[in-house]
Amino acid sequence: MSKELYYNDFTLGQRMESASSITIEKADAIGFAQQFDPQPYHIDDEGAKNTMFGELIVSGWHTAAVSMRLKLETDFRYVAGGLLGLGVEYLRWPRPTFPGDTLRIVITVLEKRQSNSKPDKGIIKYKLETFNHTNDLVMEMVTSVIMPIA
Interface residues toward a second copy, by CB under 8 A: 32, 35-41, 51-52, 59-61, 64-66, 68-69, 72, 81-85, 87-93
* Nearest-approach distance from CB 73 to a second copy, in angstroms: 11
Strand spans (E) along the chain: 15-17, 22-23, 84-92, 102-114, 121-131, 137-148
* Nearest-approach distance from CB 69 to a second copy, in angstroms: 5
Specify the residue, 11 or 150, whose C-beta has the smaller distance to a second copy: 150
Specify the residue, 36 or 133, whose C-beta has the smaller distance to a second copy: 36
Beta partners for residue 121, in sequence order: 148
Specify the residue, 9 or 140, whose C-beta has the smaller distance to a second copy: 140
* Nearest-approach distance from CB 131 to a second copy, in angstroms: 17
Specify the residue, 11 or 105, whose C-beta has the smaller distance to a second copy: 105
Whether the CB-CB separation of 24 and 58 falls below 8 Å is answered with: yes
What CA dihedral angle connects 68, 71, 76 and 79, to 10 degrees? Answer: 30
| Best CA proximity match to 37, nearest among 102, 113, 93, 85 | 93
Whether the CB-CB separation of 83 and 128 falls below 8 Å is answered with: no
* Nearest-approach distance from CB 52 to a second copy, in angstroms: 7
CA atoms in the 13 A half-sphere facing the CB of 121 = 17
* Nearest-approach distance from CB 150 to a second copy, in angstroms: 17
